[in-house]
Amino acid sequence: MANSRFEYVKSFEQPDVLLPNTWIVVRIDGRGFHKLSDHYAFVKPNDRRALDLMNAAAVEVMKELPDLCIGYGVSDEFSFVFHPSCQLFERRNGKLVTTIVSTFTAHYIFKWSEFFPSTPLQPPYLPSFDGRAVIYPNSRILRDYMSWRQVDCHINNLYNTTFWTMVQQGGMSNTDAEQELKGTVSGDKNEILFKRFGINYNNEEEIYKKGSVVYRKFELEEPTPIQTSVDEVSPLTEQKQSRSQQDKIKKLRRKAQVVVDHVDIIKDEFWERRPWIISGNPGRLPA
Amino acid sequence: MANSRFEYVKSFEQPDVLLPNTWIVVRIDGRGFHKLSDHYAFVKPNDRRALDLMNAAAVEVMKELPDLCIGYGVSDEFSFVFHPSCQLFERRNGKLVTTIVSTFTAHYIFKWSEFFPSTPLQPPYLPSFDGRAVIYPNSRILRDYMSWRQVDCHINNLYNTTFWTMVQQGGMSNTDAEQELKGTVSGDKNEILFKRFGINYNNEEEIYKKGSVVYRKFELEEPTPIQTSVDEVSPLTEQKQSRSQQDKIKKLRRKAQVVVDHVDIIKDEFWERRPWIISGNPGRLPA
Amino acid sequence: MANSRFEYVKSFEQPDVLLPNTWIVVRIDGRGFHKLSDHYAFVKPNDRRALDLMNAAAVEVMKELPDLCIGYGVSDEFSFVFHPSCQLFERRNGKLVTTIVSTFTAHYIFKWSEFFPSTPLQPPYLPSFDGRAVIYPNSRILRDYMSWRQVDCHINNLYNTTFWTMVQQGGMSNTDAEQELKGTVSGDKNEILFKRFGINYNNEEEIYKKGSVVYRKFELEEPTPIQTSVDEVSPLTEQKQSRSQQDKIKKLRRKAQVVVDHVDIIKDEFWERRPWIISGNPGRLPA
Amino acid sequence: MANSRFEYVKSFEQPDVLLPNTWIVVRIDGRGFHKLSDHYAFVKPNDRRALDLMNAAAVEVMKELPDLCIGYGVSDEFSFVFHPSCQLFERRNGKLVTTIVSTFTAHYIFKWSEFFPSTPLQPPYLPSFDGRAVIYPNSRILRDYMSWRQVDCHINNLYNTTFWTMVQQGGMSNTDAEQELKGTVSGDKNEILFKRFGINYNNEEEIYKKGSVVYRKFELEEPTPIQTSVDEVSPLTEQKQSRSQQDKIKKLRRKAQVVVDHVDIIKDEFWERRPWIISGNPGRLPA
């Protein structure tokens, strides 16, 4: 074909397949959301509409990609997790990341007017997201990743809640509030909230304190210690799964409802009662 | 900080900086656009609204990222080119690709209703795009890449035009048309179009035959042979550019109008008259 | 410093750090050993001197790099394994591989005359080796890797033993022997050896049938099932190891004798009785 | 075959092909040569035997790998350069680096006794080398790399010559000499050498001041400015080279003598008179 003369340029494409049998986390982040949240007057410290929109877009991503086993969102970031057995797009890094980033962006823009009915998008101020993939060799470290994000959520939210209360209710300037909070620990911030403003941080909404977990819902199980390494089993075992078994699994995943929770994912309980997330084997569909 | 206990998971992130002093091409592709174009009843072989929407989104990407020196689009794909001197996001692969994919998607979704006023988007059928970055060591190969895409445009468009004319005007079945076209060369297809349907392929619209080039418009220059390697000069030279020079360049790029052309980019003329694309140095703004 | 003018070239070096918490296998292979073994008249199918030389060089590599937990050699190849907790050279791929390849080569050349006293090396026929690193996310897969090499050893040795017996004792031509062996299974080869030549393959030397395992010798333990994932534990645990603990471990590793065994490493027993290989924690030194 | 059960482990090997049409530099470095040079009592600041041994090993590497176009050595390091058109080992990073490291090590160990006849190697003090590959997109930057190494050679040699003269002839302690040299520039060191010890640095041996260049010798040409980018030409041109042309080139390269020079490689002259190094096209063999 006439084209072949230039086709050598394809040889410059470099493979980017992610190591087999590892957890893949794709984390996306809002680009320039600081400026954006000013422009669209997001409520401080948390804009419920913005978080709900993030979650709604994340649910659509989960639905479109049944290979995803869990997602976790806080502020303008969202992490999506593929199971070690995932073979989607032959595990190509670029393909996985851009597909998630683009799908998320599409739904975020499309649903904007639903969550911000009175604040239309105004180009060039269109929200967009960047993303990256990181792989983790076992479920212990994957859980440490998830814990890292949830601890981060807690730390930031406690800070932001205190800061904005001092500003909004306490009438302090941004600079003064920032200055006073420098070097404080959690206890100090809790005390400021409680003593000065009568706010018990524990009573704040869970979505702000815990962030948002999205996953497919099967019937909860009795909390039994997770097999340390259901996911670490040799791939030999998996190879034995027949094609029809795999199809059955896919179908079950598609059938399961994708839910949004605001719960602790650092302790074992969340994972023990939902063993399908780590094992990759769908549980029983709720009646 | 309490968070540090889990922070070690950050050490699993792997760097993905692209080789310095090389051309970076980010090509994005519509995901599942075959199905999508059926769903929204795109006109065959070319839907002008869909192409105009692609171009409109591409122009926005060019505007938002002044580091881009040229883009080329055909069908549901678009290639965006960064100059070897580009330092955006420290040349991180993932960051560059996802930013372009997400920005493009955002504008594509947002502008949809403008180009398809009577065909609203219907989730879950939302358009999305994947993308990848490829680097090329010099401008000769970069141009071969661009030529590759334009030749591809030509080949596909000639085929599609012939195929759909046989089906739509000739009343043939898809299978019969496909069968007859198997193994034909360009001359054969031109002849079918002309002899059977009185269509001179040369008179087809340029946007279909040539695809779409987007770039910043400065005053055209007299076609003089390009210094083979303005772009290949040692980075030593670049380092000497003062900060204020760099800022001046950025400003000029932002001021320049981003235009969409449907012209030959295989021959030298396009590049010789627009030397700023390869050199990275803005030309003179049109009066 | 005057040098700085050219120092920018360092920025073209790309990082190659291997994913943390994974097993690193460095496999080296003799370059052109087919031709080399002809030149130096290696005995067929197995040259004991050549294998002993490989093992002697491997033992030196193990001694020089206490981070190595096990090695396995067959023919002109050797695999060396670093534990997931290994931080040597910050886990840089190139540094790890070239260090092993070079150290192995140095000892191989240096010791040649000891093992081939009457066959001096004749340049340009100097033995050399290439190498590569592969990472494996857990011990189950690492063991599958080791099993893969030992099964390969078995298959090749059975073939070579049969082939060369047919040629050397049976007086067949290489081509005829090759032809007859085409498509045979293990049973067929065992039968040829036994029926035609009275050779019971099981009585062949273990070093030929099983290859060579090198590791640090501590006191064997009672075979208890290995904790599935001693190696998969979160790195959080490791971080708690004090510097002095780490030094103690290093010292114990250096003290332990490096031994060469020719035993089964596919079944569990080898690993269960030597738990220090997978755990990375030295056992008790033999009295 | 029985082996297939474990063969899946091969899928963990990751490709490491270097970008096409770029210069490949493999630089190797002596491991722990500081300690080693003490052990074998290398002469300070420069041990001629050690440098000659480095060069002898480098010449063997050049002979064994005709794809190499030039090498440059200083102290215990050596850089080897492959042309952008090089296809050896499909340009696999690991394969190229380990082959060079191992071949170099083999010859270094083998030739040791020739250059150090009265100082036999004593294990475990065996010399070894590590290495890495870096790619450069054009000949301008490649030359800057070579200049970087030669400037480094100059800076280090001037320092070392001054330091050791102060210690050996001036009777200063290492610490005192180090202290006095701190913060000095080239002029200061030249003056110390000349005023205190009557040494004109310019008269030092070229091998110490310039390092060692190894390359294939063809007839020198009249110094004409190098075509800026003979190497940057589109690979399209190369593809047209017939197999027989390529074989002829290989043969010429093998025939050419590999020579060792101690000359300036920063200025243009060296490259202009030996255009075959950058062009990759062998010159005329000397009569």
At A109, the pLDDT band (50, 70, 90 cuts) reads very high
Q: Which residues of chain B does A151 touch, with a Cβ-Cβ cutoff of 8 Å?
A: 2-3, 5-6
Chain D residue with the nearest C-alpha to that of B22: D137
- Residue B223 burial (CB count, 10 A): 14
Check CB contact under 8 Å for A137 and C22: yes
| Chain C touched by B10 (CB under 8 Å) | no
Instruction: State the average pLDDT over residues B145-162.
Output: 98
Q: What is residue C230's predicted lDDT score, i.e. its pLDDT?
A: 40
pLDDT at residue B214 greater than cutoff 70: yes
Nearest CB to B229; choose among D20, D232, D235: D232
Give dist(CA D279, CA D274) in Å, integer: 9
Q: What is residue C231's predicted lDDT score, i.e. its pLDDT?
A: 45
| Chain A touched by D15 (CB under 8 Å) | yes
- Give the B:D interface size as CB pairs under 8 Å: 53
pLDDT digits (tens, 9 = 90+) for A215-230: 999 999 988 776 555 4
Q: Which residues pair with B82 in a beta bridge?
A: B24, B68
Q: What is residue A243's predicted lDDT score, i.e. its pLDDT?
A: 80
Q: What is residue B1's predicted lDDT score, i.e. its pLDDT?
A: 45
Nearest CB to C155; choose among D2, D130, D147: D2
| Tokens at D211, concatenated | 């390092």
pLDDT at residue B230 greater than cutoff 50: no
pLDDT at residue B26 greater than cutoff 90: yes
Average pLDDT, whole number, for chain A?
A: 93
Instruction: State the average pLDDT over residues D217-235.
Output: 69
pLDDT at residue D227 greater than cutoff 60: no
Q: What is residue C242's predicted lDDT score, i.e. its pLDDT?
A: 75
| Chain B touched by A97 (CB under 8 Å) | yes
- Give the C:D interface size as CB pairs under 8 Å: 162
Average pLDDT, whole number, for chain C?
A: 93
Contact by Cβ (8 Å): C12, D134: yes
Nearest to B232 by CA among B85, B116, B96, B131: B85
Chain D residue with the nearest C-alpha to that of A10: D20
Check CB contact under 8 Å for A229 and C138: yes
- Residue D143 burial (CB count, 10 A): 23
Chains with 3+ CB–CB pairs under 8 A to A are: B, C, D
At D238, the pLDDT band (50, 70, 90 cuts) reads low
Give dist(CA C146, CA C129) in Å, integer: 20
**What are the φ/ψ torsions at residue A137 (nearest 5 degrees)?**
-75, -20
Task: Reduce the secondary structure of chain C to three states and give it as a string.
Answer: CHHHHCHHHHHHCCCCECCCCCEEEEEEEECCHHHHHHHCCCCCCCCHHHHHHHHHHHHHHHHHCCCEEEEEEECCEEEEEECCCCCHHHHEHHHHHHHHHHHHHHHHHHHHHHHCCCCCCCCCCCCCEEEEEEEECCHHHHHHHHHHHHHHHHHHHHHHHHHHHHHHCCCCCHHHHHHHHCCCCHHHHHHHHHHHHCCCHHHCCHHHHHCEEEEEECCCCCCCCCCCCCCCCCHHHHHCCCHHHHHHHHHHHHHCEEEEECCCCCCCHHHHHCCHHHHCCCCCCCC
At D244, the pLDDT band (50, 70, 90 cuts) reads confident
Check CB contact under 8 Å for D11 and A20: yes
| Chain D touched by A32 (CB under 8 Å) | no
Nearest CB to B105; choose among A105, A152, A186: A105
Give dist(CA B189, CA A2) in Å, integer: 14
A264 burial level (CB within 10 Å; 0-12, 13-18, 19+): middle
| Chain B touched by D229 (CB under 8 Å) | yes
| Chain B touched by A133 (CB under 8 Å) | yes
| Chain C touched by D156 (CB under 8 Å) | no
Categorise residue D103: left if φ over 0, alpha if ψ from -120 to 50, beta otherwise.
alpha
pLDDT digits (tens, 9 = 90+) for C213-261: 999 999 999 887 765 544 455 565 555 567 788 888 889 999 999 999 9
Q: Which residues of chain A does C135 touch, with a Cβ-Cβ cutoff of 8 Å?
A: 19
Q: Quick one: what percent of chain A has pLDDT higher than 90?
A: 87
pLDDT at residue A89 greater than cutoff 80: yes
| Chain B touched by C20 (CB under 8 Å) | yes
Best of D85, D148, D228 to disrupt the B interface (most B CBs within 10 Å) is D228
| Chain C touched by A233 (CB under 8 Å) | yes
C34 in a known ligand binding site: yes
Q: How many residues does chain D have?
A: 287
At D230, the pLDDT band (50, 70, 90 cuts) reads very low
**Domains, chain D:** 15-152+205-279 (3.30.70.3000)
Q: What is residue B226's predicted lDDT score, i.e. its pLDDT?
A: 61
D29 in a known ligand binding site: yes
pLDDT at residue B252 greater than cutoff 80: yes
Nearest CB to B5; choose among C6, C14, C236: C236
Q: State how far residue D115 is from chain C, nearest Cα, in angstroms.
A: 15
Residues at the binding site of A for Mg(2+) are: 29-30, 76
pLDDT at residue C63 greater than cutoff 60: yes
pLDDT at residue C139 greater than cutoff 60: yes
Best of B21, B91, B140, B278 to disrupt the D interface (most D CBs within 10 Å) is B140
Q: What is residue D245's predicted lDDT score, i.e. its pLDDT?
A: 85
Q: What is residue B235's predicted lDDT score, i.e. its pLDDT?
A: 61
Instruction: Select the more confidently predicted residue: A227 or A22.
Output: A22
b/e code B242-272 from CB counts within 10 Å (16+ = b): eeeeeeebeebbeebebebbeeebbeeebbb
B127 CB-near residues (< 8 Å, 6+ apart): A106, B30, B31, B33, B36, B105, B108, B109, B112, B121
Check CB contact under 8 Å for B140 and D19: no
Q: State how far residue A20 is from chain D, nearest Cα, in angstroms.
A: 6
Instruction: State the average pLDDT over residues C147-152.
Output: 97
Does this complex have an ipTM over 0.90? yes
| Chain B touched by D286 (CB under 8 Å) | no
Q: What is residue C287's predicted lDDT score, i.e. its pLDDT?
A: 79
Q: Which of B131-135, C64-68, C239-243, D113-117 has the lowest mean pLDDT?
A: C239-243
| Chain D touched by B142 (CB under 8 Å) | no
At A235, the pLDDT band (50, 70, 90 cuts) reads low
Check CB contact under 8 Å for B135 and A99: no
* A180-184, B246-250, C237-241: range with highest mean pLDDT: A180-184
Residues at the binding site of B are: 29-34, 75-76
Nearest CB to B141; choose among D21, D140, D144: D21
Q: Which of C104-118, C213-227, D116-130, D261-275 has the lowest mean pLDDT?
A: C213-227
Report the relative pairing of strands A257-261 and A23-30 from DSSP bridges.
unpaired
pLDDT digits (tens, 9 = 90+) for D89-119: 999 999 999 999 999 999 999 999 999 999 9
Q: Quick one: what percent of chain D has pLDDT higher than 70?
A: 93
Q: What is residue A1's predicted lDDT score, i.e. its pLDDT?
A: 45
Q: Which residues of chain B does D228 touch, with a Cβ-Cβ cutoff of 8 Å?
A: 228-229, 232
| Chain B touched by C87 (CB under 8 Å) | no
Instruction: State the average pLDDT over residues C68-81.
Output: 98
Check CB contact under 8 Å for B15 and C15: yes
Average pLDDT, whole number, for chain D?
A: 93
| Chain D touched by A237 (CB under 8 Å) | no
Q: What is residue C123's predicted lDDT score, i.e. its pLDDT?
A: 92
Q: Global pTM?
A: 0.95
pLDDT digits (tens, 9 = 90+) for D125-171: 999 999 999 999 999 999 999 999 999 999 999 999 999 999 999 99
Instruction: State the average pLDDT over residues C194-219.
Output: 97
Q: What is residue C227's predicted lDDT score, i.e. its pLDDT?
A: 55
Q: What is residue D287's predicted lDDT score, i.e. its pLDDT?
A: 79
Q: What is residue D246's predicted lDDT score, i.e. its pLDDT?
A: 83
Q: State how far residue B243 is from chain A, nearest Cα, in angstroms.
A: 24
Nearest CB to A128; choose among B16, B106, B152: B106
At C4, the pLDDT band (50, 70, 90 cuts) reads confident
pLDDT digits (tens, 9 = 90+) for A131-166: 999 999 999 999 999 999 999 999 999 999 999 999
| Chain D touched by C129 (CB under 8 Å) | yes
